[in-house]
């Protein structure tokens, strides 16, 4: 808080207080910069819903005549497979679009090897989303072969 000495009238020898707003402006500018940096990060969220252990015990098994689920697999070399059939990266979107056009549910089961390159796995999920997958279920356990 700064002080100034009055010139002329007023109380003799009195000091008039004046507010220094520089610290307030500094704090507001720092908050503005923080919000400008954090705001774009909030828009890039990927929500993942995993079933709880209790819920898996109560689920009824699918009927025998149900359609075979669509499983997209990424191995450690980056090779993509749909239900064990190898697919090129450029063909993935179109192939999934044809598969989901014939199905009523647009659920894709995604399985990536532990050693798979992260960027390849994310590109595969993006292509699957653009190919018509409404729900991408991440497999947490290896399916029985």
> Mean pLDDT over residues 115-122, rounded?
91
pLDDT at residue 128 is higher than 70: yes
Mean pLDDT of 10-22: 75
Quickly count: other Cβ atoms within 10 Å of residue 74's Cβ.
22
As a whole number, mean pLDDT of residues 94-109 equals 88
Global pTM value: 0.53
Judging by DSSP bridges, how do beta strands 70-74 and 107-112 pair with one another? parallel
65 falls in which pLDDT band (50, 70, 90)? very low
104 — pLDDT class (breaks 50, 70, 90)? confident
């Amino acid at each position: 808080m700064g002080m100034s000495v009055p010139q002329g009238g007023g109380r003799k020898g009195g000091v008039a207080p004046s507010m220094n707003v520089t610290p307030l402006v500094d704090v507001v500018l720092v908050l503005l910069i923080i919000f400008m940096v954090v705001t774009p990060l909030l828009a890039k969220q990927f929500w993942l819903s995993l079933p709880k252990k209790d819920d898996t015990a109560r689920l009824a098994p699918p009927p025998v005549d149900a359609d075979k689920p669509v499983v997209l697999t990424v191995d450690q070399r980056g090779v993509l497979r749909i239900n064990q059939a190898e697919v090129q990266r450029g063909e993935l979107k179109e192939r999934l679009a044809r598969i989901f056009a014939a199905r009523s549910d647009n659920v894709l089961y995604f399985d990536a090897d532990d050693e798979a390159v992260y960027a390849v796995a994310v590109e595969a999920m993006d292509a699957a989303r653009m190919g018509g997958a409404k729900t991408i279920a991440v497999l947490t356990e290896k399916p029985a072969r």
